[in-house]
């Protein structure tokens, strides 16, 4: 009987190792053919795509450059109907360059005699408007500029400090949507404020005054939209760009004044309207303004 024994001893037989088949001498294994045509096509497509992308980017950059260069620099862009094309955008992007709060007082100081000369000694024919505590007169300054002079009731020393603080604030505010403050008079007990003159009066006169409507044209829709937008930008400046914010607290059509081209400006925004009143560390929010009316602020 045949037995498979290893010379060294009883060792189980191991499987034979696998080797690659031997090749005949003089012959090499077949090579995989390389297609040069496919590589060339890939390179060409990549170059064309890169050139196309570069061309698109170049055209886009050029178009943006031309668009930025040709864009008008006006703060208010209007279409053929006179309405703003950017009502949906934030008004601040147009207002910021023109609005600021000055760090120095820039108001002119007038004597009472100068105010008398400017208004013809407060002649009744120059009276523009009157309220419960003030009268407004049309005046002409020594340099020939038209102005509106607001004559406040005579006040004593107990309100002099508050008056000067308000004047200091008014002289620091600069916005195309606020009535420009020119100067003031604090001669003895006389307290007067000089503003720019708005020839078309108040919005209230155009909307409700019968005498005014008879001699003036009705405001069309586009003009009303411009007036509303100007007034909104004026409030935004007082609320967002002044510290502390100024709350008007009597924002009615009476305080929206109209210029020669019906641009709107807010008036009466400085006196006793600096946010809320503070006494002994406590804050009081008094209701001021027109009786029976609360401003939407």
Active site residues: 250
Secondary structure of 65-86 in HEC code, one letter for each residue: HHHHHHCCCCCCCECCCCCECC
CB 272 within 8 A of CB 162: yes
**Percent of the chain as helix, strand, coil, to the nearest 5:** 35, 15, 50
Question: Could you give the CA distance from residue 246 to residue 273 in angstroms, rounded to a whole number?
Answer: 6
Q: How far is it between the farthest Cα atoms of the chain?
A: 151
How far from the centroid of its chain's Cα atoms is residue 112's Cα? 38
CB 118 within 8 A of CB 100: no
Question: Could you give the CA distance from residue 118 to residue 19 in angstroms, rounded to a whole number?
Answer: 119
Question: Could you give the CA distance from residue 264 to residue 262 in angstroms, rounded to a whole number?
Answer: 6
How far from the centroid of its chain's Cα atoms is residue 59's Cα? 32
CB 197 within 8 A of CB 149: no
Residue 93 has a CB neighbour count (10 Å cut-off) of 10
CB 172 within 8 A of CB 103: yes
Question: Could you give the CA distance from residue 206 to residue 219 in angstroms, rounded to a whole number?
Answer: 7
* Cβ-based burial of 148 (10 A; exposed 0-12, middle 13-18, buried ≥19): buried
Length of the chain counted residue by residue:
297
């Amino acid at each position: 009987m045949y037995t498979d024994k290893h010379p060294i001893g009883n060792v189980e037989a191991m499987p034979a190792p696998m080797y690659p088949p031997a090749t005949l001498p003089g012959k090499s294994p077949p090579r995989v053919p390389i297609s040069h045509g496919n590589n060339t096509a890939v390179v060409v497509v990549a170059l064309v795509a890169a050139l196309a992308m570069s061309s698109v980017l170049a055209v886009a950059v050029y178009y943006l450059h031309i668009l930025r260069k040709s864009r008008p620099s006006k703060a208010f862009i209007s279409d053929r109907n006179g309405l703003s094309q950017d009502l949906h955008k934030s008004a601040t992007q147009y207002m910021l360059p023109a609005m600021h709060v000055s760090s120095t007082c820039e108001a002119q100081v007038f004597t009472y005699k100068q105010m008398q000369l400017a208004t013809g000694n407060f002649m009744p024919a120059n009276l523009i408007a009157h309220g419960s505590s003030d009268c407004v007169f049309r005046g002409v300054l020594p340099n020939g500029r038209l102005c509106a002079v607001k004559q406040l009731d005579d006040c004593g020393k107990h309100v002099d400090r508050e008056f000067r603080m308000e004047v200091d604030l008014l002289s620091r505010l600069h916005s195309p949507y606020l009535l420009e403050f020119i100067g003031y008079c604090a001669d003895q007990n006389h307290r007067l404020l000089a503003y720019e003159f708005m020839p078309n009066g108040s919005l209230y006169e155009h909307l409700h005054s019968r005498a005014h409507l008879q001699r003036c044209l009705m405001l069309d829709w586009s003009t009303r939209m411009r007036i509303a937008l100007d007034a909104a930008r004026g409030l935004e400046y007082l609320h967002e760009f002044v510290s502390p914010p100024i709350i008007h607290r009597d924002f009615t059509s009476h305080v929206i004044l109209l210029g020669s081209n019906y641009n709107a400006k807010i008036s009466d925004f400085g006196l006793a309207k600096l946010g809320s009143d503070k006494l002994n560390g406590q804050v009081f929010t008094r209701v001021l303004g027109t009786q029976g009316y609360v401003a939407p602020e």
